[in-house]
């Protein structure tokens, strides 16, 4: 649990257990979480690739299972590309318009 103590100008102190100085705004929270989200997305992609490969190997003569595994692999890769494209698009918009997006 994170404790933050704030001292007001009149000398009163307030202890808050729900906020942290590192997360003053939504941008800093998102930019702190994004590396972890990319790791999680990478692990999910890894397991999707393993699952699709296993499905292709265990059902070599079944065209329906092979097609399902190929679509699973394709959808996993497309989702992962969308995650990275959205991050880089936000960075590009921030650089073009001089905004601070995602805490960068």
Domain of 38, in residue numbers:
24-97
pLDDT range class, residue 97, cuts 50, 70, 90: confident
pLDDT range class, residue 103, cuts 50, 70, 90: low
Beta bridge partners of 5: 15
20/60: higher pLDDT: 60
What is the number of other CB atoms lying within 10 angstroms of the CB of residue 41? 16
Average pLDDT over residues 85-96: 82
Mind listing the pLDDT tens digit for each residue in 27-84? 677 777 777 887 888 888 889 989 988 988 898 888 898 899 999 989 888 988 888 8
- Asked if the structure places residue 1 within a domain, the reply is no
For the chain, the farthest-separated pair of C-alpha atoms sits apart, in whole angstroms, at 78
- Asked if the structure places residue 41 within a domain, the reply is yes
37, two tokens: 């989200």
| DSSP state letters, 32-101 | HHHHHHHHHHHHHHHHHHHHHHHHHHH-TT-HHHHHHHHHHHHHHHHHHHHHHHHHHHHHHHHHHHT---
- Asked if the structure places residue 11 within a domain, the reply is no
- Asked if the structure places residue 60 within a domain, the reply is yes
51, two tokens: 């699952």
Count of the separate structural domains present in the chain: 1
**Residue whose pair of structure tokens reads 């404790």 in the numeric block:** 3
- Asked if the structure places residue 38 within a domain, the reply is yes
Output the pTM of the full model. 0.58
Per-residue pLDDT, 102: 60
Per-residue pLDDT, 72: 92
- Asked if the structure places residue 10 within a domain, the reply is no
pLDDT range class, residue 2, cuts 50, 70, 90: low
Beta bridge partners of 6: 14
């Amino acid at each position: 649990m994170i404790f933050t103590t704030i001292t007001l100008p009149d000398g009163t102190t307030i202890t808050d257990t729900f906020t942290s100085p590192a997360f003053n705004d939504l941008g800093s929270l998102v930019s702190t979480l994004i590396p972890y989200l990319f790791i999680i997305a990478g692990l999910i992609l890894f397991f999707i690739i393993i699952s699709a490969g296993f499905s292709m190997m265990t059902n070599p003569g079944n065209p329906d299972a092979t097609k399902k595994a190929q679509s699973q692999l394709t959808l996993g890769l497309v989702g992962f590309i969308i995650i990275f494209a959205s991050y880089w698009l936000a960075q590009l918009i921030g650089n073009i318009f001089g905004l601070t997006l995602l805490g960068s």
